[in-house]
Structure 1
């Protein structure tokens, strides 16, 4: 097992957290118990230690208590799924079962009515119903959210099969696939929670999509750096660019860390250059778009603070 730690790499910015953080944390743990995610998937102490409510309070520090609680429930659900998919390195039979369950979850996201009693499935239905309510007058945001969650689950399925079949990913594979397992899911929540009125044509504009991609990659690369100890200990490694570049470029571990750190710096520079060439969409849209981009930025920074400063999740 890798026995070393690296300094936290993140994006510049002030540390922020909602005043509702303690209440959201309590609400989030109660929700995990209500839908039996605890104890079926993880013990209660796991959810208490993970502090997904605090994560939501860092990623959406200016949202209402109701909205941050919903974000905490979503994060609780996502990390429960994510940790269950890591079984590819522990219990291969359960891992194959999980790939089948992922298909059911994707069906729910694509609008199929669910009549079973699965815990992850019913918890997902509960989350989707709440997101439908808060985005009823902005259906594009709800559709975008469901699409991102489904894409994430497909990538979980791909990564699980990759582990089971011992397929080794390339650097090219990483940059093509890794963003789907990153932060896209959390981005539509910024507009939902803030009541932003940004047209679909602006969300889908190439410059805006590039900004989303760069922020997503910045979050993924920082995650790779502070999660390396845990991921290097897995029997079959997944989407960590340190391990991929170490193998593909025949690097030492320290050189692979330096490579990923340099990649983080490169993508931060790309983000800043891209932000500088945003088109003028008009005063009202420009104002909402600035709030949106700042919110995406806060998600990535808030995640790093939660993962490293608050919980030491990957140490």
Structure 2
């Protein structure tokens, strides 16, 4: 990884790790075995090395044991699907199989459909049942909507790779936010039992802050995965490669282009925080807690990917 790419993958501030990190890592591996995800989708060694339990511990440092286990299982499920989508794009038959699975997942989320003979679907139903038991209706619906958006974006990435389609910069910013971080955001309010009115979550400034933090995570992911993706036959959904082609940049110039965007969004985040309206002392204190929780997710993800696991180093 170039010095430019490494320079901004970690957001400012100190990160914490949940005290249950070791226990949740063991629990996550048990969950994988209980739903037979290994070796059908990935080997148990892959799940062990990935350390999704530690990722959850970084993203939710103050969560209870049950909460952190739920987050760890969700992250395990999401990365299994993400990796399976990558494999599904290797050929038409594999892609059709993966698309059928995605349709089934969406049916479960949108229509309370029942899992079929698919271990990932059974695992998803288990996660949804546990979330529904602890979530207010609004936050549960937000979580399901974000899950559905992510799965629909998976169709786009499969077709993009099958067709060898390189999207535009405009298309990148349209689709990239759906790739995962939004899913983790409602967990902050669910786990911390925040009591914010729905209209606060729907306020345009709060939505803008969510988008900015999401894009900060996506841009950092593009930067710290670039070395790995350079070695692949078909480049992933990465702004560095898109900008390099569309703007006729050198590779280092394209990296700097993404670094500049990352820095710009950090400035936008601070500006938006100054524009948050005042509702009441209680509401605004809880909103600050919520936004800090979103920031912790993105920083925790970065630290897990870069410091803890070197997940996206070249292969």
Fold shared per TM-score above 0.5: yes
Alpha-carbon spacing, 1:115–1:212, altered in 2? closer, same or farther (3 Å): closer
Instruction: State how far apart, in whole Å, the 2-side matches of 1:4 and 1:306 are.
Output: 19
Instruction: State how far apart, in whole Å, the 1-side matches of 2:35 and 2:17 are.
Output: 27
Residue 4 of structure 1, CA deviation: 5.9
Paired position in structure 2 for 1:69: 69
Number of equivalent positions? 311
Counterpart selection for 2:213 from 212, 215, 232: 215
Residue 39 of structure 1, CA deviation: 1.1
Alpha-carbon spacing, 1:34–1:8, altered in 2? closer, same or farther (3 Å): farther
**Which structure 2 residue ranges, 5 or more long, are not aligned?**
none
Instruction: State how far apart, in whole Å, the 1-side matches of 2:264 and 2:133 are.
Output: 39
1:27 alignment partner, SS class: helix
Instruction: State how far apart, in whole Å, the 2-side matches of 1:99 and 1:227 are.
Output: 25
Instruction: State how far apart, in whole Å, the 2-side matches of 1:33 and 1:230 are.
Output: 28
1:12 aligns with 2:12: yes
Residue 111 of structure 1, CA deviation: 2.7
Instruction: State how far apart, in whole Å, the 2-side matches of 1:256 and 1:115 are.
Output: 43
TM-score relative to the length of structure 2: 0.96
The equivalences for 1:73-112 within 5 A come to: 73-112=73-112
Paired position in structure 2 for 1:124: 124
CA contact (8 A) 1:84 1:98 kept: yes
CA contact (8 A) 1:58 1:302 kept: yes
Residue 193 of structure 1, CA deviation: 0.2
> Bigger CA drift: 147-156 or 96-105?
96-105
CA contact (8 A) 1:215 1:296 kept: yes
The equivalences for 1:117-266 within 5 A come to: 117-135=117-135, 138-266=136-264
TM-score relative to the length of structure 1: 0.96
1:19 alignment partner, SS class: coil
Instruction: State how far apart, in whole Å, the 2-side matches of 1:20 and 1:305 are.
Output: 17
Residue 234 of structure 1, CA deviation: 2.6
Deviations 1:273-293 (A, max 9, x none): 001110001111111111100
Alpha-carbon spacing, 1:113–1:182, altered in 2? closer, same or farther (3 Å): closer
| CA RMSD of superposed structures (Å) | 1.3
Instruction: State how far apart, in whole Å, the 2-side matches of 1:45 and 1:117 are.
Output: 24
